[in-house]
Amino acid sequence: MSRHALDASHYTSQETLSRERAHLFGALWTFVGFTSMVRERNQFFTRKVAGVPILVQRTEAGIRAFINECPHRLSPIQTESAGKRPMVCPYHAWSFGAEGELRGIPNHGLYQFSAAEREKICLKKLHLEEVGQLLFVNFAQSPIALNEQFTDEFIGQLQDVSSHLDSQIIYSCHQVRYNWKLNMENVKDYNHVPFIHPQTFMPAMNQMVKEIPVVGDDGASEVIRLISAAESPELDSLSYSTKALIKPYENWFAPLCEKYGSEHAYYNWFIYPNVNFCSVKGDHFLLQQYDPVSPGVTDYHLWMMTATRKDVRTDFTALLATLIRGERKVIAEDTVVLERLQDGFGEHSRRFMHGEYEAHIVQQHLWYRTHVLGERP
């Protein structure tokens, strides 16, 4: 399957990153946060998506997303990562309404804008979709339908599982020195767990992976058929769910929550292009997102929460701090390997080699080669 894999150069090239920003992050729906982060009017959060500053804020019209730039002198409207305040630019106090329209300009006589010019002044509004508690934005002027990127079944799964997420969230973001694609490929590979995480993750697993996993209704064999024919897969096939059995045990906090499911399993929902959403036994959840800063630098976003608390007075602050420390320890083990990989890439590097076990990674590469790089299968 090596002939369909990406060249290492696409993990180091600025030109490739520019194509990703135009044809991947600029065209697809991208996860940005949770509805629980903007529960009250004027509550907001800010972040960057593939280098673009965005603002998500609850206005009197609902949850809205904008490019976080004032049209006047391009100052950020909101300067903190999260908070609660009206959409007023801190530079010259221009204020904006529920849909990003201009509401007021102090000392407006200084500008001498005509009525027609004032009418056109507004924030750049982004398309936003709510999938349960998950928020997605799209930068395109006329975005693709959400169910073109994700199957209706997968959207239903995300709505169902996200209904179990608690509103008390812990979050961290740190930079790693490798290309974002390496991380998305790594989390789809359970086979690295016994070798990279023998003391952290592996003790919880029921067994090592010993066979090719079947994913989706058509199974892995259908993926391999597509690869053998060098066909670009459908976009909605790149996002899917899977699970791995873990050893039976009970967390002390599980009885305090409304759990998702009843299996002793590690659940994954791979959300293309750059999200790994997962749950351990349905009693706590984590969402990882790998956002490109440069070809060799990635912002690693991590959100964690328990399943919905039965009593909102229960305070899980200390528990969440413990959970995120444990997850960051596992992430640090992956980081050593992936940074070493990135550091070794060069003109001498050949294409990656994949076997049938990595069929879904190769499928991802095939779609990427066609729709991001513009190559013919």
In a domain, 159, yes or no: no
CA angle at 34 for the pair 33 and 37, rounded to the nearest 5°:
100
Distance of CA 232 to the CA centre of its chain: 23
Q: Is 97 helix (H, G, I), strand (E, B) or coil?
A: coil
Structure tokens at 344: 């070794």
Pairs from 339-343 (Cβ < 8 Å, separation ≥ 24): 339/176, 339/177, 339/178, 341/178, 341/182, 342/11, 342/12, 342/177, 342/178, 342/179, 342/182, 342/296, 343/177
Spatial distance between the Cα atoms of 57 and 87, rounded to a whole number of angstroms: 9
CATH number where 74 lies: 2.102.10.10
Q: Do residue 44 and residue 11 come from a single domain?
A: no
The pLDDT, as a whole number, for residue 4 is: 75
By the 8 A CB rule, do 356 and 215 touch?
no
- What length does the chain have? 377
Residue (of 3, 97, 13, 47) closest to 346 by Cα position: 13
Number of domains in the chain: 2
Q: Do residue 80 and residue 105 come from a single domain?
A: yes
In a domain, 157, yes or no: no
In a domain, 152, yes or no: no
By the 8 A CB rule, do 96 and 103 touch?
yes
Distance of CA 110 to the CA centre of its chain: 43
The pLDDT, as a whole number, for residue 72 is: 96
The one-digit pLDDT tens for each residue of the chain (377 residues) are 556 789 999 999 999 999 999 999 999 999 999 999 999 999 999 999 999 999 999 999 999 999 999 999 999 999 999 999 999 999 999 999 999 999 999 998 898 999 999 999 999 999 999 999 999 999 999 999 999 999 999 999 999 999 999 999 999 999 999 999 999 999 999 889 999 999 998 888 877 665 555 445 555 555 556 556 667 899 999 999 999 888 898 999 999 999 999 889 999 999 999 999 999 999 999 999 999 999 999 999 999 999 999 999 999 999 999 999 999 999 999 999 999 999 999 999 988 888 888 888 999 999 999 999 998 76
Q: Do residue 21 and residue 71 come from a single domain?
A: no
By the 8 A CB rule, do 178 and 338 touch?
yes
Q: Is 353 helix (H, G, I), strand (E, B) or coil?
A: coil
Q: Do residue 205 and residue 115 come from a single domain?
A: no
Q: Do residue 220 and residue 364 come from a single domain?
A: yes
Spatial distance between the Cα atoms of 122 and 120, rounded to a whole number of angstroms: 6
Domain that holds residue 86: 30-143
Could you give the dihedral angle defined by the CA atoms of residues 116, 117, 123 and 129, in that order, rounded to the nearest 10 degrees?
30
Q: Do residue 324 and residue 186 come from a single domain?
A: yes
In a domain, 261, yes or no: yes
The pLDDT, as a whole number, for residue 156 is: 98
Largest Cα–Cα distance of the chain, in whole Å?
A: 73
Q: Do residue 3 and residue 56 come from a single domain?
A: no
Residue (of 190, 172, 193) closest to 304 by Cα position: 172
The pLDDT, as a whole number, for residue 206 is: 73
Residue (of 361, 2, 322, 368) closest to 188 by Cα position: 361
SS (H, E, C) 240-296: EEEEEEECCCCCCCHHHEECCCCCCEEEEEEECCCEEEEEECCCEEEEEEEEEEECC
Q: Do residue 207 and residue 349 come from a single domain?
A: yes
Q: Do residue 60 and residue 139 come from a single domain?
A: yes
Spatial distance between the Cα atoms of 36 and 108, rounded to a whole number of angstroms: 37
Residue (of 306, 290, 71) closest to 183 by Cα position: 290
In a domain, 315, yes or no: yes
Q: Is 114 helix (H, G, I), strand (E, B) or coil?
A: coil
The pLDDT, as a whole number, for residue 376 is: 73
The pLDDT, as a whole number, for residue 231 is: 77
DSSP 236: G
